[in-house]
Amino acid sequence: MNSTGHSKNALIFILITICIDSIGLGIIIPSFPRLIAETAHVSLSKSSDYFGWVMGTYALMQFVFSPLIGNLSDRFGRRPVLLTSVLGMGLDYIFMYVAPDLFWLVLGRAVSGIFGASFTSAAAYIADISTPEKRASNFGMIGAAFGVGFVIGPAIGGLLADFGTRAPFLAAAILSLSNFVYGLVVLKESLPENDRRKFEWKRANPFGAIGQLKRFNKLKYLFVVTFLVLFANMAVHSVWNYYTMEKFGWTERYVGISLAVIGVCFGIVQAGLSGLLVKKLGEKGAATLGIFILILTTVGIGLIPNGWMMYALILPYAFSGIVDPAIRSIVSNQTENNEQGELQGIFTSLMSLAEIIGPPSMMLIYSASKFYGNKSPISFGGPFFVAAFVAVLALILVRWTLKHYKSEKLDA
């Protein structure tokens, strides 16, 4: 199924699905602090107390349900699981459109986390239709689609804000439901009946999924690297709004612009450059380079005194996005076809675990780093220095793992 016409259409559908999921996240990011303040009836400053909780709720649901969805796709096929997730996401956006207060908004985000776990079966579908040589590139396309969504999402949120804070959710619902109809037409099943396996609860629960890491021998340490890198990135994902608003005086408009630039840069790197870098440097070299760049750029973000300098670091920071497709490709190429759903479920669970722990941790560190005052060169920068330290640990571990693991399928 690697070179057929419907495989190309399916790839387009998968990328659209990932993009729309990302749009749903990005739509509310620029105005998220103010949105929380309005629905919780608190000040903008006080809204930071709720931020990690709301973000963590979404991530918690993804963590719990990602292994379940991945294993369901291994048992029943990718198509029904993907389409159900896309339909559910569209209906949930409608629910959040009419949510009357913060409680119902949080509940809506929880349901979004459940259906947002479609990333698991989407990644497994990519593994199904890709040759080993193309997997790193195609996994990079997933990251690019996510990045494009992060460009479009804040832009849509800003444009539609004139029509009310809920208007972006209605737009996201229309996009999701339209994508569901498109998927009904073009999406074919990628996992043959004879490659499916029996559903087992021990693999479908999140802790059982994490427990399956031991099955991957020394490669299990690459999952630890993935978690460390994801956690380090939470410094940017969690505190960007508050950091730029409080340190540089940015408005929601400028926050949205900066997020759009980040999305564009990540899209360029992951769609156009990740495959080239993996081909030139090898999967191991690309992963190492990406983590090294992450270390340098997070330190830089934490130290810079002027807001315009953030833009000078965004493009280099985007090159850290090559880590995920490189590591996914290494592990995916060592995994059987009927285990790809479980494998991607582990990756998604790690991502969700980082998003559960990361936001509240980074927000606590951020609050503590204000102690030094606005005139200090390290004011507000605590989360980024912690991120750099965590990335150093990831760099040491990835080099040790790939040095000691020998396989004819891996580059030298």
What radius of gyration, in Å, describes the C-alpha atoms of the chain?
20
411: pLDDT strictly greater than 60? no
Separation CA 272–CA 239 (nearest Å): 28
Tokens of 412: 């030298």
Tokens of 41: 């009836």
Q: How many alpha carbons lie under 13 Å from residue 107 in its C-beta half-sphere?
A: 11
Q: How far apart are the first and last CA of the chain?
A: 29
Average pLDDT on 177-192 reads 83
Closest CA relative to residue 243, chosen from 133, 378, 335: 378
What is the domain-level CATH number for residue 82? 1.20.1250.20
213: pLDDT strictly greater than 70? no
Separation CA 118–CA 357 (nearest Å): 21
Separation CA 248–CA 242 (nearest Å): 10
Closest CA relative to residue 337, chosen from 138, 198, 129, 139: 129
Give the pLDDT confidence score for residue 11 in this predicted structure.
78
- In sequence order, the 6+-apart residues with CB closer than 8 A to the CB of 133 are none
Give the pLDDT confidence score for residue 293 in this predicted structure.
95
Give the pLDDT confidence score for residue 312 in this predicted structure.
92
Tokens of 219: 């490669």
Question: How far, in whole angstroms, is CA 87 from its chain's centroid?
Answer: 20
3: pLDDT strictly greater than 60? no
Tracing tokens 């479009």 back to the chain, one arrives at: 152
196 in any annotated domain: no
194 in any annotated domain: no
280 in any annotated domain: yes
Contact 41, 51 (CB under 8 A): no
Separation CA 77–CA 187 (nearest Å): 12
> Which ranges in 27-131 belong to alpha helices (H)?
32-40, 48-76, 78-98, 102-115, 118-129
Domains contained in the chain, number: 1
Q: What are 136-154's pLDDT values in tens digits? A: 777 778 777 877 787 788 7
Q: What are 302-337's pLDDT values in tens digits? A: 998 888 999 999 989 999 988 888 888 887 777 777
263: pLDDT strictly greater than 70? yes
Give the pLDDT confidence score for residue 6 in this predicted structure.
54
- For 22, 324, 330, 369, the CA distances from 283, given in Å and listed in that order, are 26, 10, 7, 36
| Percentage, residues of the chain above pLDDT 90 | 11
SS3 197: coil
Give the pLDDT confidence score for residue 412 in this predicted structure.
36
241: pLDDT strictly greater than 50? yes
Give the pLDDT confidence score for residue 230 in this predicted structure.
92
Confidence of residue 204 (pLDDT cuts 50, 70, 90): low
Q: What are 62-106's pLDDT values in tens digits? A: 778 877 877 787 888 888 888 888 888 888 888 878 877 888 888
Which range scores top for mean pLDDT: 68-72, 248-252, 285-289?
Answer: 285-289
308 in any annotated domain: yes
| Percentage, residues of the chain above pLDDT 70 | 84
DSSP label at residue 189: P
410 in any annotated domain: no
254: pLDDT strictly greater than 50? yes
Q: How many alpha carbons lie under 13 Å from residue 61 in its C-beta half-sphere?
A: 18
Confidence of residue 202 (pLDDT cuts 50, 70, 90): low
Tokens of 397: 């571990």
174 in any annotated domain: yes
Separation CA 57–CA 397 (nearest Å): 30
Give the pLDDT confidence score for residue 229 in this predicted structure.
94
Pick the range with the lowest mean pLDDT from 171-175, 254-258, 270-274: 270-274
Separation CA 298–CA 91 (nearest Å): 37
On average, the pLDDT of the chain sits at: 79
- For 162, 236, 261, 270, 331, the CA distances from 273, given in Å and listed in that order, are 37, 22, 17, 6, 20
2: pLDDT strictly greater than 60? no
Q: Is pLDDT larger for residue 290 or for residue 371? A: 290
198: pLDDT strictly greater than 80? no
Give the pLDDT confidence score for residue 289 in this predicted structure.
93
pTM of this prediction?
A: 0.71
1: pLDDT strictly greater than 60? no
411 in any annotated domain: no
Domain range spanning residue 343? 5-189+202-404
Tracing tokens 């479920």 back to the chain, one arrives at: 345
